[in-house]
Chain A
Amino acid sequence: MNEFNFTLNGKAVTYRGDPLKRLLDVLREDFGLTGAKEGCGEGECGACAALLDGAMVNTCLVPVGVVAGREVTTIEGIAGTKEGQDIIEALADAGAVQCGFCTPGMVVAAASLLRGNPRPTETEIREAISGNLCRCTGYDMIVSGIRAAAKRGRRSW
């Protein structure tokens, strides 16, 4: 397979090329979506997270062939939705951003959590972002930001 279609941030797109190329590289190089970052390249840090059919994946571990016919949503896509804006505004107000490299992945993790669990407890929030490493914040303000996003978006989740 060297040509297939998938949905990227709500739009039908066509990929031509090596199906084993990492989804992360395809997003960044073929589609110019650089919001997903490479922090480790081994699925440990979550900086490259995106949603695949609504579930969070580390795009550094996903060969692009896997997404044929499926729906990929990146930080750029999430940022354009009402739910995404609620998360982003809440994290900004909470002081959840420092260097920012883990931040897009955190937003993706938060979106993934709140879609399935609109009223998470602190423990559930911490579990949901436990695959996303942050070296700057100690996580507290990210956790409080996600809690605030849940409140802010209560009607839309």
Chain B
Amino acid sequence: MNKSDTLNETGISAPVRRVDAMEKLTGKARYISDYPFEGLLHARLLRSDRPRAKILGIEVPDLPAGYSYVDARDIPAGGRNGIRMITDDWPVFARDEVRFVGETLGLVVGPDREKVLEILSGIRVTYEELEPAFTIEEGLACKGGPIVGDDNLYGTYHLTKGDPEAAFRRAARVVEGTYRTGFQEHLYLEPQGMVGTWEDGKITLYASAQCPFYIRKSVAHTLGIPEPAVRVRQVTTGGAFGGKEHFPDVIATVLSVAVNKIRRPIRLVFERAEDIRFTCKRHPSRVTIRTALDEAGAIIGMDIDTVINAGGYTSSSLIVLQRAILHGIGVYNIPNVHIRGRAVATNTFPSDAFRGFGAPQGLFAIELHMSHLARELGMDPGSFKQKYFIKTGDTTITNTAMKDEIRLNEMFRKVDAMSGYRRKVKAYDDDPLKGIGIAFVNHGCGFTGNGEQEIIKAVAEMERLSDGRAALYVSTVEMGQGLQTVLRKIAARELDCGVDNIVYDNPDTDRVPDSGPTVASRSTMVVGYLVQQCARELKRRWGEGPGTRVRKQYRHPEGLTWDQDTLQGDAYPSYGWGVNVVEVAFDPVTYEVKTTGIWTVYDVGVPMDTRIVTGQAAGGGIQALGYAAMEVCEVVDGRFRQHTLTDYTIPTAMDFPSVACEFVENPYAYGPFGAKGAGELVFDAAAPAYADAVGHLIGRKIHEIPVTPEKIMEVLQDE
């Protein structure tokens, strides 16, 4: 059987119609705002409108009957005014000081939406303003005094491979560049929303969210009650991209304090402008790379300094930073490297998870830097990068052998055949109106290091039902990526039945085990593998009759090592690999750059459904091109200047051409049917490929995204 057969004809990769397609297409699927609740109350957050200030007082007017104001005083004894994420430094309700515009001060709750807004506008908050720091530079300089510690850093990491100091001492030449990326808003089409109720004697939350058990943990922590005393039910979720990983904890904790006090159903759904202004974004980054070259122009060492703007509280920033530096030398084998990574505190809204989780920032810098080096050395970026591809057995940045089987050369050949890269990259050198760019990436699947084993300990269960079908019990959610179709396919194939015979309901923490959060490109690879193991055992034990239930817990693959304190060892159990080529054309009058081609090739092990993964590749690619070309998000006086869809513009159907996507099959031993992660990998390469293409087009170096027409004009005028 040749590869295209296994991908498309008879194998697991053959596309099926998504199980959620019809209910979504007919408008029957119910999202959080679509559910009726008896006696529903509406809620609005009272938020700080200062980026950094002492709170001197909050004056709440007398409230009409049936309306409540909820704040930190309503947290029950034994509870904590902290949102339990990785740490709990982010308070549920601001303490004595606010650190960013939009920090929660209180919550107004009542039956009439308009009245709630009227009450909100009558609350007077008085502040003593302090000097804020907004940018990475201001944060590093501790402008206004440190926000945290004495250096304003949430954390600093170092990775060292080989002897970079010696490499720089013997360098014939050093090339340096600084690369910057901006904030990016997730812009899931469904804004953040949740309903909290008091049901059967416990707090119950209906949530548009990625991680039901994260919410349960944070609510239990805030209320000071055991986790099983909280129930979280995920409802159909209208997009997330990381934006509904930890941010729902911010809503859930406030809402739970209110429900605990009022004991009625309360809905907190953000309007769009609220959602853009007052939710987490992708971390802005500044990465400086210095490369030591020998006399022949070969790379002998790199020194990389990575800083991300973490904002007012930690959230997931340290884990994001780890991923940024662990992807800091991309797909290359560089003999001597030092990377320093820092997450700096500023008075902006805390930055948090967004598809890629730090990897896109790290990869953007290394990919553009490699392209710049290629140009300096008179080579085309594709050929130059290929010389440094890491191979199986080479030493990684974390000083262990790369264990993946690597197919980058084959992927390069494939993308070249699709795009004509090698021919065009030379031809366009002399064409003032055309440019072409290339980027190679990898993306570590699952949690960093031994996180799956030490922190998550995922469990999945399956049960034979009385009607002859089989139920799947997992906590990973459908948020658009196709998870419920993929997991059902995996189970159905093992049980030798149709996908309709596998039941998957939206996770409910009272009914499913904790198989971990829906993050980190782990759901198919890690949870899907557990589902496969469950289905195999259930098939063996099918004869035991209805009610037979099987349970499988994650086990780390043999032979992997990790030291979390030093970040040494196998940083990820496996990697997805990708290459993107982007072609652009130029209008010299308007400075408008038009994208004329996007070609992608991915190694995701074995795709669990070629159409679903191709859909991820198209969506991830266009989202990344928005990041690279369009999505400007500036902070002015601590506020996001762009906060409507009119000024925070995401790609429409007219902005980019279609995305060509092909796969190389490369089965992974510990993934279901050989699958690895895919959801984030498909975001990583398009932005650096686009910036490389624009650089090629204008014959200048691009160092920063988004590359807007104004930026292009600046670059052209500077030189």
Contacts and interface: CB of A to CB of B under 8 A. Distances in A.
Contacts of B20: 97, 100
A122 to B, nearest CB: 8
A136 interface: yes
Given A130-B654, A135-B241, A137-B619, A35 B28 contact: yes
Contacts of B654: 126-127, 130
Contacts, number: 167
Given A103-B25, A143-B658, A137 B271 contact: no
A99 B479 contact: yes
A91 B17 CA distance: 10
B189 A39 contact: yes
B21 interface: yes
B472 interface: no
Nearest to B610: A95
A92 B25 contact: yes
Interface in A49-68: none
Contact of B656 (A74, A79, A104, A138): A138
A140 to B, nearest CB: 5
A34 interface: yes
Nearest to A137: B619
Contacts of A44: 644-646
Interface stretch (B30-38, B74-82, B220-228, B281-289): B30-38
Contact of A138 (B24, B190, B611, B619): B619
B623 A138 contact: yes
A154 to B, nearest CB: 20
Given A98-B480, A99-B479, A126-B653, A74 B27 contact: yes
Q: Which of B15, B189, B272, B619 has the most CB of A within 10 A?
A: B189
A38 interface: yes
Nearest to B481: A98
B547 to A, nearest CB: 33
B361 interface: no
A107 B21 CA distance: 12
Given A135-B241, A136-B239, A35 B271 contact: no
B464 to A, nearest CB: 29
B237 interface: yes
B612 interface: yes
A41 B18 contact: no
Contacts of A76: 26-27
B586 interface: no
A45 to B, nearest CB: 6
Contacts of A75: 26-27
Given A95-B18, A103-B24, A139 B189 contact: no
B236 interface: yes
A142 B618 CA distance: 11
Interface string A20-55: 000000001000011111111110110100000000
Contacts of B17: 92-93
Interface string A71-108: 00011100100000000100111011111111110010
B18 A135 contact: no
A114 to B, nearest CB: 15
SS of B interface (majority): loop
A142 B652 CA distance: 12
A150 B21 CA distance: 19
Interface in B453-491: 479-482
Q: Which of A37, A91, A136, A143 has the most CB of B within 10 A?
A: A136
Q: Which of A28, A33, A139 has the most CB of B within 10 A?
A: A139
A92 B239 CA distance: 18
A141 interface: yes
A104 B650 contact: no
B480 A136 contact: yes
Contact of B238 (A33, A42, A99, A141): A99
Nearest to B271: A41
A126 B612 CA distance: 21
A37 B27 CA distance: 9
B56 interface: no
Nearest to B646: A44
Given A34-B27, A97-B21, A99-B237, A39 B650 contact: no
Nearest to A126: B653
A42 B186 CA distance: 18
B26 A88 contact: yes
Contacts of B15: 95
Nearest to B652: A130
B659 A42 contact: no
A103 B241 CA distance: 18
A40 B644 contact: yes
Contacts of A39: 189-191, 272
B18 A92 contact: yes
B157 interface: no
Contact of B480 (A92, A99, A127): A99
Contacts of B241: 135
A17 to B, nearest CB: 14
Contacts of B272: 39-42, 45
Contact of A35 (B27, B186, B621, B653): B27
B106 to A, nearest CB: 24
A133 B481 contact: no
Contact of B659 (A28, A88, A138): A138
Contacts of A100: 20, 23-25, 29, 236, 238, 480
Given A44-B645, A75-B26, A104-B25, A139 B238 contact: no
A109 B45 CA distance: 35
A15 to B, nearest CB: 19
B622 interface: yes
Contacts of A79: 25-27
Contacts of B23: 100
Interface in B647-673: 650-654, 656, 658-659
A127 B652 CA distance: 9
Nearest to B661: A140
A136 B27 contact: no
Nearest to B239: A99
Contacts of A143: 653, 658
Interface in B589-627: 611-612, 614-615, 618-623
Contacts of B623: 135, 138
A47 B271 contact: no
Contacts of A45: 189, 272, 645
A37 B271 CA distance: 12
Contacts of B504: none
B230 interface: no
Nearest to A123: B654
Contacts of B650: 133, 135
B31 A137 contact: no
B22 interface: yes
Given A92-B21, A101-B188, 17 more contacts: A37-B238, A38-B33, A40-B644, A88-B22, A95-B18, A95-B614, A97-B20, A98-B481, A99-B237, A126-B654, A127-B653, A133-B189, A134-B653, A138-B619, A138-B623, A139-B618, A139-B652
13 contacts: A28-B34, A37-B189, A39-B191, A79-B25, A99-B237, A99-B240, A100-B23, A130-B653, A133-B650, A136-B480, A137-B619, A139-B653, A141-B614
Minimum-distance CB pairs A-B, first 8: A35-B27, A99-B480, A100-B24, A101-B238, A138-B622, A138-B618, A44-B645, A75-B27
